[in-house]
Every structure is written in structure tokens, then in C-alpha cells.
Amino acid sequence: MIALHSFVSLFLTGIYLLLIIYLIRGWSRVKVIPVKEGPPQTKVTILIAARNEEERISLTIEDVLAQDYPKHLFEVIIVDDHSTDNTAAIISSYASRGVRLLQLQEERALNSYKKKAIAEAIKLSTGELMVATDADCRMGPAWLSSIVGYYETNNLVMVSSPVTYFEERSLFELMQTLEFGYLIGIGAAFIGNGRASTCNGANFAYRKDVFYEVGGFAGIDDLASGDDELLLQKVAERYPGRIGFLKQTEAVVYTHAKHTLQEFMQQRRRWASKSTKYKDKKVVAFGLCIWLFNVSLLVNAALGFYDLYFLKLFLVQFLLKYLFEILYLLPITTFFKRTYLVSLLILLIPLHIVYFVVIGLMGNNRKYLWKDRVVK
């Protein structure tokens, strides 16, 4: 029985290490391609869905309006999703500077208000390229021009771009930044390897005609989340090879980590809930293998209290995980100019093992709180 247990544990460890090697390879294959010379030609619509964002939305709008992209080639549409604070009034104050406010007037209950907000904004848009971000994000002045330059140069239909946390106020938030880099790296690495798995809706661009060609959010609108990854997978099914990840520092969007454990867990449950709708079952298998590996770590750690053999087995798994994840995370944190975060990995791994197993069990089975609404 012990021999079988050891075989399963080491087999799962081997699978996990192969997956990490796959990610390292994929990240390295995402190249920064020089953009074509000459002025941009693409009309862009910047899409933002906002709900109760009065604290930070003015900073986001100011950053968007400060873009170095030609003003006649982009418009800004912000959808107020039934905010109960001063969000709509703040957006309205920018009307003279060309920001359009669309107030969602949906009376019937929905499970995905954000998808509805984005879809309504796209209906009003005049741009060829939709560029989505969130109402609590910050970006540099070359954000939009870098995305469009990459899009035009490579004849793409969809562009996933990097997102990271900043202005951390605690060790907990710094560890989230490291873990979030791991997730952003997965999405980039899959694209580098010629597949599509995950992306982040805070920095996501796609052609308007392609959005309608794949049916928009139809078929994925029963989940509150997934306006990014699930749409990505719909497009990848029809346009394999024409989705890119923009590995360029000018394209980075910055947002904030969650301040409390409860907020963090709600966010991760929301993200995990999307996995049931993934079209590419190989991506599902990828996530399942990682989850099973973490389960084996947890089981061996628990058995190690009773038998030294299992403790040794756990330590072997832990050490291999630690070393390979350092190799994976170093180039990603270097890209974000936060290499020092890798030093937190030794603290993050034990917590990550437990949380990953728990979220895997909870994400697909329970409702969660998002934007003061209980959704699934």
C-alpha cells in the first residue's frame, strides 16, 4: 500500500514538474516583436464596467485620457452597473472630455451583470478594436499605443496583456502579487505554446467583429465571471494562432491586491468557478493535475505527523516544487521588475497548497459575493 502511495505521489510530482517546464518554455517563446513604423490606423473603443468605484475611478479615467494614442482614434465608454455610490456622477463629470456614460437599466435579475454591461457598451461602440480594463486600474501613457502597435503588426484578433498588483501594504498583499504573477504567466505561456487558457479582463483587447462572430457572451452568460477567459477560449477555437500575449512593460496594467483573507477567497472562488465552462479540456486537465499534486502534498504532510517516511516524501515533493517554481517565476518577476518577490516563495508555498485544494473544492459548488451581490 505504501509502495502504491509513493508511486502515485511521485507520478503526480513528475507530471507537475513537466507542466512547469511547459510553462517555462511557453513564457520564453513569447517574444517582443518591434511594431511597424508609421502612425496607427485602428479606431479603438476603451470599455470599462464600473460598480461602486467612486474611490479610484477618477484615477483610471485620468490615465485613460492621458494616453499618447491619437485622440481622434479612440473613444471611452464606461458602463455604470447600478452603482449605489457617486460613481455615475464622477463619470458624468468627464463628459466634456469625451467620456461616454452608459447606465445599465436592467430590471430583471442577472447572474452576470458585467458581461451585460460590456455587451451593451460594445453595441454603442464605433471602434474596430475593443480594449477592456477595470475601473480601479492604473496604466502608463503608452499603454494603448503599445497594444494597438502589437495588434496591427501581428495581424491578431485578440490580445492578452499583463496585469500586476502594486502599492501593497502588507506581506499578505506582496504574496498575492507573487501568486498573481504565477497566474499571469500561465496565460502568457499557453499563448507562447500556441494554445489559449487564461487571461485577465483588466487588460484585454479583441476585434469587435470577432466578438459578434463567436456569438459574444452567448453560452457563457450563466456565470457571473468569465468575460475574459471564456471569451478567449471561444475565440481560440475559431482563430487558433491569432491570439497574442503582449510581453511589454509599457502595456502593463496595475491594480490592487485584496486587503483581507475573506476578499481574497471570494475572488479566487469566482475565478475557479469559470473552469466548468472551459472549452479546451486540456486546460481543465492541466488545472486538475496541479490540484491533485497539491492534494498529494497535503496528504503526505498530514501523514508525516504519524510516519517519518511520508514526511520525507513530502519534503522531496516540496523541494522539487520550490526549485522548479523559482525557475518559472524568476523571468516573470524580472519582467515586472519585482524579482525580489521570489524570496517570498518559501512562505507562499505552504499557504498556497492549502488554499489551492480548498478553492478547488469550493469554486464550482457554492455561491460567492461579488460587488455586493451573491452570484454563482
pLDDT band per the 50, 70, 90 thresholds, residue 56: very high
pLDDT at 32: 80
**Sheet with 163-165, side-by-side order of all strands:** 138-139, 253-255, 163-165
Give rounded-to-5 percent helix, strand, coil for the chain: 55, 15, 30
Beta strand 158-160 pairing with 243-245: parallel
pLDDT tens for residues 130-150?
A: 999 999 999 999 999 999 999
Query: Cβ contacts of residue 288 below 8 Å, gap of 6+?
Result: none
pLDDT value, residue 112: 74
Cα separations in angstroms, 245 against 29, 249, 295, 320, 333? 10, 12, 31, 28, 16
User: pLDDT for 322-342, tens place per residue?
Assistant: 999 999 999 999 999 999 999
Residue 369 has pLDDT above 70, yes or no: no
- Residue 78 DSSP SS3: strand
What's the whole-model pTM score? 0.92
Look up residue 286 and give its amino acid.
F
And the C-alpha cell for 253? 496594467
Q: What is the model's pLDDT at position 321?
A: 97
Identify the pLDDT of residue 265.
87
Confirm if 336 and 248 have CB atoms less than 8 A apart: no
**C-alpha torsion sign, points 223, 229, 233, 235:** positive
**Are 356 and 272 a contacting pair, CB within 8 Å?**
no
Burial of 190 (0-12, 13-18, 19+ CB in 10 A): buried
Beta partners for 139?
253
Q: How confident is the model at residue 364 (pLDDT cuts 50, 70, 90)?
A: low
Q: Is the pLDDT of residue 372 over 60?
A: no
Q: What is the pLDDT of residue 227?
A: 73
Mean pLDDT for 293-300 is: 95
Q: What's residue 109's pLDDT?
A: 57
pLDDT score recorded for residue 209: 96
Confidence of residue 315 (pLDDT cuts 50, 70, 90): very high
Structural element, H or E, at residue 244: strand 243-245
Of 79-93, 124-138, 353-367, which range is least confident?
Answer: 353-367
The listed range with the strongest mean pLDDT (222-226, 250-254, 358-362) is 250-254
Q: In this model, does residue 207 exceed pLDDT 90?
A: yes
Question: Residue 5: its pLDDT value, please?
Answer: 86
Going by pLDDT thresholds of 50, 70 and 90, the confidence category of residue 226 is low
Supply the mean pLDDT for the chain: 90
Examine the pLDDT at 107 and tell me if it is beyond 80: no
pLDDT digits (tens, 9 = 90+) for 157-177: 999 999 999 999 999 999 999
